[in-house]
């Protein structure tokens, strides 16, 4: 189980400065400048870019995951496939489970690859023994839900936390850059 550590933007900025060797500041002298840059704004942009890159590319087992199934509604396509609209802020779907499936769905993130295209045929698509979830930017198609299924019972996803909040794991903290590039 991965431990998730919540940070406020201000607290994570302090950590970023410390790791970048910009803190702690010396407080035993007085310096006055009028031509300096707004370092916090610059660092917050760097921090945000690093964080979003981590959420998009880091190994799934090192990221904070959220079960988003409770807020999802599945509709049926005429061919029996299930369609689920993904909520705003859903960055990566990593696991989909449904009652009646024998295992979690195979996640296909490239909706143009051969496996995704194979799902359009009733003869090659996933079923209860090897279900497939094809992920689009705003929705996912589920191949194929059991006839009586209401929707996914569990959907683990990497989600963008609320504004001003960062969710990190121990591994993400260990991967945080030690200096500015």
pLDDT (tens digit, 9 = 90+) per residue, 73-105? 999 999 999 999 999 999 999 999 999 999 999
- Specify whether the CB–CB gap between 33 and 128 falls below 8 A: no
Q: CA–CA separation, 179 vs 181, rounded Å?
A: 6
Q: What is the pLDDT of residue 39?
A: 78
The helix/strand/coil state of 120 is: coil
- Specify whether the CB–CB gap between 152 and 96 falls below 8 A: yes
Beta bridge partners of 157: 66, 93
- Specify whether the CB–CB gap between 166 and 11 falls below 8 A: no
pLDDT (tens digit, 9 = 90+) per residue, 130-149? 999 999 999 999 999 999 99
């Amino acid at each position: 189980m991965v431990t998730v550590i919540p940070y406020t933007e201000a607290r994570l900025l302090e950590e970023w400065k410390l790791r970048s060797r910009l803190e702690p500041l010396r407080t035993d002298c007085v310096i006055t400048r009028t031509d300096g840059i707004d370092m916090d704004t610059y660092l917050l942009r760097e921090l945000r870019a690093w964080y979003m890159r981590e959420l998009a590319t880091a190994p799934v087992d090192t990221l904070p995951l959220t079960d988003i199934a409770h807020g999802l509604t599945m509709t049926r396509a005429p061919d029996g496939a299930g369609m689920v609209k993904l909520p705003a802020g859903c960055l990566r779907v990593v696991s989909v489970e449904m009652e009646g499936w024998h295992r979690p769905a195979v996640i296909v993130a490239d909706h143009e690859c051969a496996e995704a295209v194979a799902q359009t045929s009733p003869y090659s698509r996933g079923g209860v023994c090897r279900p497939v979830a094809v992920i689009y930017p705003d929705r996912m198609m589920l191949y194929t839900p059991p006839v009586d299924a209401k929707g996914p019972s569990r959907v683990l996803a990497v989600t963008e936390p609320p504004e001003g909040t960062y969710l990190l794991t121990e591994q993400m903290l260990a991967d945080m850059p030690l200096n500015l590039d």
